[in-house]
Amino acid sequence: MVASSASSLILLCLTVSLLLLLLPLPSHCADPDPLLDLCVANLTASTSSSNFPCKLPSEVTADDFVFDGLSKQGNVTNLFGVAVTTGNVLSFPGLNTLGLSMNRVDFGPGGINPPHSHPRASEIGIVIEGKILSGIVTTKNVYYGKVLTAGQVFAVPRGLVHFELNLGQTKAFFFTAFNSHLPGSTVLPLSLFAAAPSIPMEVLTKTYLVDEDAINAMKSKFVF
């Protein structure tokens, strides 16, 4: 009796495992899968979903699948000495529904792409020029950092806080790709000190365990 119920249990487990194997593999895309060959975004049409409606097929041209925006160096004359040029669905509508996008990041000497995260995508980047410290912090607050030079590739898991710093005395730049047509970017210093309207002072003083003067000193750096 015991042996028979044990063998039924084994049979049940085997059947369930087999059924699980036969199920389609889960999708690991950050964005939903495309349903059409082409769906060039019509950015002027209103949208209530994460994908833009498609342009009329008769209006699609070869230029919809080409983007020149990353060919030029960005302007790094700013607070951080960095310029992030985005090639996402908003600047490159041909990416609509493809779950892909690319950025170019230029640095002046010593420039920093400050700690930030991409809520909707993992990232892969390749350094083209310069010497860059690339760092990641996990949700357990473990820091991983490495100095990279031309040709080296780095990866950033989705949503994790990360930064890049140009350690060289000359300009530097890299290209990155994302598994989302609109990865989004939360830049920590700007979220905290340059939000509009401002985050209430009491929240910031209690968060950083400092007085209002210290917070105001931080905020004064981020007036644009």
Applying CB under 6 A, which residues contact ligand NAG? 42, 44-45, 55-56, 59, 75, 77
Locate 178 and state its tokens: 């994302």
- Report the alpha-carbon distance of residue 104 to residue 41 in Å, rounded: 21
Least distance in angstroms from the C-beta of 75 to ligand NAG: 4
Locate 66 and state its tokens: 């080409």
Residue whose CB is less far from ligand NAG, 52 or 154: 52
Residue whose CB is less far from ligand NAG, 52 or 178: 52
Least distance in angstroms from the C-beta of 195 to ligand NAG: 22
Residue whose CB is less far from ligand NAG, 64 or 150: 64
Locate 44 and state its tokens: 């002027």
Least distance in angstroms from the C-beta of 79 to ligand NAG: 10
Q: Round the CA-based radius of gyration of the chain to a whole number and report it.
A: 23
Place of tokens 């820091």: 143
Where residue 81 falls (left for φ over 0; alpha for ψ -120 to 50; beta otherwise) is left
Residue whose CB is less far from ligand NAG, 9 or 45: 45
Largest Cα separation within the chain, whole Å, is 80
Least distance in angstroms from the C-beta of 219 to ligand NAG: 20
